[in-house]
Amino acid sequence: SQKIEQNSEALNIQEGKTATLTCNYTNYSPAYLQWYRQDPGRGPVFLLLIRENEKEKRKERLKVTFDTTLKQSLFHITASQPADSATYLCALPTDSWGKFQFGAGTQVVVTP
Amino acid sequence: GAVVSQHPSWVICKSGTSVKIECRSLDFQATTMFWYRQFPKQSLMLMATSNEGSKATYEQGVEKDKFLINHASLTLSTLTVTSAHPEDSSFYICSARDRKYNEQFFGPGTRLTVL
Protein backbone atom coordinates (compact mmCIF):
# COMPACT_ATOMS: atom_id res chain seq x y z
CA SER A 1 0.00 0.00 0.00
CA GLN A 2 0.94 3.62 -0.32
CA LYS A 3 2.36 5.77 2.41
CA ILE A 4 0.44 9.03 2.19
CA GLU A 5 1.76 12.06 4.02
CA GLN A 6 -0.10 15.22 4.80
CA ASN A 7 1.04 17.99 7.12
CA SER A 8 -0.01 16.92 10.58
CA GLU A 9 0.27 20.40 12.03
CA ALA A 10 -2.74 22.63 11.72
CA LEU A 11 -2.49 25.41 9.20
CA ASN A 12 -3.54 28.73 10.71
CA ILE A 13 -4.26 31.37 8.15
CA GLN A 14 -5.78 34.79 8.03
CA GLU A 15 -8.99 35.38 6.15
CA GLY A 16 -8.37 36.40 2.56
CA LYS A 17 -5.02 34.64 2.26
CA THR A 18 -4.29 31.49 0.29
CA ALA A 19 -3.94 28.20 2.13
CA THR A 20 -1.70 25.59 0.52
CA LEU A 21 -1.77 21.97 1.63
CA THR A 22 0.45 19.14 0.46
CA CYS A 23 -0.16 15.46 -0.11
CA ASN A 24 2.86 13.29 -0.78
CA TYR A 25 2.79 9.61 -1.62
CA THR A 26 5.60 7.12 -1.83
CA ASN A 27 4.86 4.30 -4.22
CA TYR A 28 3.11 4.03 -7.56
CA SER A 29 1.41 7.05 -9.08
CA PRO A 30 -2.34 6.54 -9.15
CA ALA A 31 -4.51 7.23 -12.16
CA TYR A 32 -6.19 9.99 -10.18
CA LEU A 33 -6.22 11.58 -6.77
CA GLN A 34 -9.07 13.09 -4.77
CA TRP A 35 -9.42 15.76 -2.12
CA TYR A 36 -12.10 15.76 0.54
CA ARG A 37 -13.23 18.10 3.27
CA GLN A 38 -14.14 16.72 6.69
CA ASP A 39 -15.79 18.71 9.44
CA PRO A 40 -15.62 17.51 13.08
CA GLY A 41 -17.90 14.55 13.69
CA ARG A 42 -18.92 14.32 10.03
CA GLY A 43 -18.09 12.12 7.07
CA PRO A 44 -15.83 13.36 4.27
CA VAL A 45 -17.28 15.47 1.50
CA PHE A 46 -15.83 15.17 -2.00
CA LEU A 47 -14.23 18.34 -3.36
CA LEU A 48 -12.07 17.65 -6.39
CA LEU A 49 -10.62 14.86 -8.48
CA ILE A 50 -7.51 15.31 -10.59
CA ARG A 51 -6.24 12.76 -13.09
CA GLU A 52 -2.64 11.86 -13.75
CA ASN A 53 -2.64 13.61 -17.12
CA GLU A 54 -4.00 16.83 -15.63
CA LYS A 55 -1.57 19.33 -14.21
CA GLU A 56 -4.16 21.50 -12.54
CA LYS A 57 -7.86 21.48 -11.67
CA ARG A 58 -9.98 24.33 -10.38
CA LYS A 59 -13.34 24.63 -8.71
CA GLU A 60 -14.41 28.05 -7.55
CA ARG A 61 -11.76 29.10 -4.97
CA LEU A 62 -10.10 25.70 -4.91
CA LYS A 63 -7.16 24.62 -7.01
CA VAL A 64 -5.42 21.27 -7.10
CA THR A 65 -2.18 20.32 -8.83
CA PHE A 66 -0.79 16.85 -9.42
CA ASP A 67 2.91 16.21 -10.06
CA THR A 68 3.54 12.53 -10.71
CA THR A 69 7.28 13.13 -10.91
CA LEU A 70 7.40 14.59 -7.42
CA LYS A 71 4.62 12.21 -6.27
CA GLN A 72 2.82 15.17 -4.84
CA SER A 73 -0.47 16.99 -4.98
CA LEU A 74 -0.99 20.53 -3.78
CA PHE A 75 -4.37 21.84 -2.67
CA HIS A 76 -4.95 25.59 -2.59
CA ILE A 77 -7.79 27.55 -1.04
CA THR A 78 -7.67 31.10 -2.36
CA ALA A 79 -9.33 34.07 -0.66
CA SER A 80 -9.87 31.86 2.37
CA GLN A 81 -12.88 32.37 4.62
CA PRO A 82 -13.59 31.26 8.20
CA ALA A 83 -16.14 28.82 6.74
CA ASP A 84 -13.24 27.03 5.04
CA SER A 85 -12.00 25.90 8.46
CA ALA A 86 -12.02 22.11 8.38
CA THR A 87 -9.73 19.13 7.88
CA TYR A 88 -8.77 18.37 4.29
CA LEU A 89 -7.96 14.83 3.24
CA CYS A 90 -6.31 13.51 0.14
CA ALA A 91 -7.26 10.05 -1.07
CA LEU A 92 -5.66 7.71 -3.58
CA PRO A 93 -7.43 4.79 -5.21
CA THR A 94 -6.01 1.39 -4.43
CA ASP A 95 -8.02 -0.50 -7.04
CA SER A 96 -10.48 0.17 -9.83
CA TRP A 97 -13.53 -0.73 -7.76
CA GLY A 98 -13.68 2.26 -5.48
CA LYS A 99 -11.28 1.38 -2.68
CA PHE A 100 -9.32 4.36 -1.39
CA GLN A 101 -6.47 5.00 0.94
CA PHE A 102 -6.70 8.28 2.83
CA GLY A 103 -4.11 10.59 4.25
CA ALA A 104 -4.50 11.66 7.87
CA GLY A 105 -5.58 15.10 6.78
CA THR A 106 -4.47 18.64 7.50
CA GLN A 107 -6.58 20.91 9.66
CA VAL A 108 -7.06 24.42 8.34
CA VAL A 109 -8.11 27.23 10.66
CA VAL A 110 -9.05 30.51 9.03
CA THR A 111 -9.28 33.45 11.38
CA PRO A 112 -11.13 36.68 10.59
CA GLY B 1 -25.47 15.25 -5.09
CA ALA B 2 -26.45 11.81 -3.94
CA VAL B 3 -27.18 11.23 -0.26
CA VAL B 4 -25.95 8.48 2.00
CA SER B 5 -27.40 8.21 5.48
CA GLN B 6 -26.21 6.35 8.54
CA HIS B 7 -28.17 5.30 11.56
CA PRO B 8 -27.66 5.85 14.37
CA SER B 9 -25.50 8.96 14.29
CA TRP B 10 -24.14 8.07 17.70
CA VAL B 11 -24.50 5.17 20.11
CA ILE B 12 -23.26 4.38 23.60
CA CYS B 13 -23.27 0.78 24.73
CA LYS B 14 -21.94 -1.44 27.45
CA SER B 15 -18.97 -3.68 26.91
CA GLY B 16 -20.00 -7.08 25.59
CA THR B 17 -23.08 -5.96 23.74
CA SER B 18 -23.55 -5.87 19.97
CA VAL B 19 -24.30 -2.76 17.98
CA LYS B 20 -25.74 -2.52 14.49
CA ILE B 21 -25.04 0.44 12.21
CA GLU B 22 -27.03 1.01 9.04
CA CYS B 23 -25.83 2.66 5.86
CA ARG B 24 -28.40 3.63 3.23
CA SER B 25 -28.13 5.17 -0.19
CA LEU B 26 -31.23 7.33 -0.36
CA ASP B 27 -31.60 8.20 -4.03
CA PHE B 28 -29.39 5.80 -5.91
CA GLN B 29 -28.51 2.14 -6.08
CA ALA B 30 -25.18 1.03 -4.70
CA THR B 31 -23.77 -2.33 -5.67
CA THR B 32 -20.76 -1.64 -3.49
CA MET B 33 -20.50 -0.02 -0.10
CA PHE B 34 -17.38 0.51 1.97
CA TRP B 35 -16.96 0.63 5.73
CA TYR B 36 -14.27 2.78 7.31
CA ARG B 37 -13.16 3.40 10.86
CA GLN B 38 -11.54 6.61 12.02
CA PHE B 39 -9.82 7.19 15.35
CA PRO B 40 -9.24 10.76 16.58
CA LYS B 41 -6.69 12.70 14.57
CA GLN B 42 -6.14 9.73 12.29
CA SER B 43 -7.05 8.90 8.73
CA LEU B 44 -9.99 6.84 7.61
CA MET B 45 -9.02 3.18 7.58
CA LEU B 46 -10.90 0.89 5.23
CA MET B 47 -12.34 -2.06 7.11
CA ALA B 48 -14.28 -3.93 4.46
CA THR B 49 -15.95 -3.82 1.08
CA SER B 50 -19.58 -4.81 1.00
CA ASN B 51 -21.08 -6.12 -2.24
CA GLU B 52 -24.80 -6.58 -2.66
CA GLY B 53 -25.76 -10.22 -2.51
CA SER B 54 -22.34 -11.57 -1.68
CA LYS B 55 -19.95 -11.84 1.22
CA ALA B 56 -18.01 -8.84 2.33
CA THR B 57 -14.30 -8.58 1.70
CA TYR B 58 -12.31 -7.60 4.77
CA GLU B 59 -9.03 -5.75 4.90
CA GLN B 60 -6.05 -7.35 6.52
CA GLY B 61 -6.25 -7.25 10.29
CA VAL B 62 -10.01 -6.75 10.47
CA GLU B 63 -11.84 -9.59 12.21
CA LYS B 64 -14.76 -10.69 10.07
CA ASP B 65 -16.44 -12.48 12.98
CA LYS B 66 -16.35 -9.34 15.06
CA PHE B 67 -17.48 -6.91 12.37
CA LEU B 68 -20.38 -8.56 10.60
CA ILE B 69 -21.43 -6.96 7.35
CA ASN B 70 -24.65 -7.59 5.50
CA HIS B 71 -25.52 -5.99 2.17
CA ALA B 72 -29.00 -7.34 1.59
CA SER B 73 -30.20 -4.80 -0.95
CA LEU B 74 -28.88 -2.20 -3.37
CA THR B 75 -29.60 0.57 -0.89
CA LEU B 76 -28.72 -0.91 2.50
CA SER B 77 -25.62 -2.28 4.16
CA THR B 78 -25.28 -2.99 7.86
CA LEU B 79 -22.25 -3.29 10.08
CA THR B 80 -22.68 -5.15 13.37
CA VAL B 81 -19.98 -4.79 15.96
CA THR B 82 -20.31 -7.95 18.03
CA SER B 83 -19.28 -8.17 21.67
CA ALA B 84 -18.08 -4.59 21.59
CA HIS B 85 -15.20 -3.52 23.81
CA PRO B 86 -13.90 -0.06 24.70
CA GLU B 87 -11.17 -0.34 22.08
CA ASP B 88 -13.90 -0.57 19.43
CA SER B 89 -14.95 2.96 20.29
CA SER B 90 -14.44 4.93 17.10
CA PHE B 91 -16.11 6.85 14.30
CA TYR B 92 -17.53 4.47 11.71
CA ILE B 93 -18.16 5.84 8.22
CA CYS B 94 -19.68 4.15 5.24
CA SER B 95 -19.51 5.11 1.60
CA ALA B 96 -21.64 3.95 -1.29
CA ARG B 97 -20.69 3.62 -4.93
CA ASP B 98 -23.35 4.75 -7.37
CA ARG B 99 -24.11 1.85 -9.67
CA LYS B 100 -25.02 4.06 -12.61
CA TYR B 101 -22.46 6.85 -12.49
CA ASN B 102 -19.65 5.07 -10.67
CA GLU B 103 -19.21 7.88 -8.15
CA GLN B 104 -18.72 7.36 -4.43
CA PHE B 105 -20.52 9.20 -1.66
CA PHE B 106 -19.85 9.16 2.06
CA GLY B 107 -22.27 8.92 4.94
CA PRO B 108 -22.20 11.30 7.91
CA GLY B 109 -20.63 8.72 10.21
CA THR B 110 -21.63 6.95 13.43
CA ARG B 111 -19.87 7.67 16.71
CA LEU B 112 -19.63 4.47 18.77
CA THR B 113 -18.67 4.68 22.43
CA VAL B 114 -18.28 1.45 24.37
CA LEU B 115 -18.25 1.81 28.13
SS3 B87: helix
Provide the 8-state DSSP code for B23: E
Whether B34 has its CB under 8 Å from any CB of chain A: the answer is yes
Q: How confident is the model at residue B30 (pLDDT cuts 50, 70, 90)?
A: confident
- CATH class belonging to A25-82: mainly beta
CB-nearest partner of B32 from A44, A98, A104: A98
Q: Which of B66, B55, B73, B72 is nearest to B92 (CA)?
A: B66
**pLDDT by 10-residue block (mean), chain A, 112 residues:** 88 97 90 93 92 93 95 97 97 85 95 95
Indicate the domain borders of chain A. Answer: 25-82
To test the contact with chain B by mutation, choose from A47, A100, A106, A107 the residue with the greatest count of B C-beta atoms within 10 A, namely A100
Measured in whole angstroms, the distance separating CA B107 from the mean position of its chain's CA atoms is: 9
Residue A6 and residue A20 in contact, taking contact as beta carbons nearer than 8 Å = no
Give the model confidence (pLDDT) of B52-107 as tens digits. Answer: 888 899 999 999 999 999 988 889 999 999 999 999 999 999 999 887 766 789 99
**CB-based contact A43 B107, cutoff 8 Å:** yes
Chain A residue numbers with beta carbons less than 8 Å from the beta carbon of B108 are 42-43
The pLDDT value recorded for residue B102 is 67
CA distance B23 to B77: 5
Nearby residues of A1 by Cβ (< 8 Å), 6 or more positions away: A27, A94, A101
Chain A residue numbers with beta carbons less than 8 Å from the beta carbon of B107 are 43
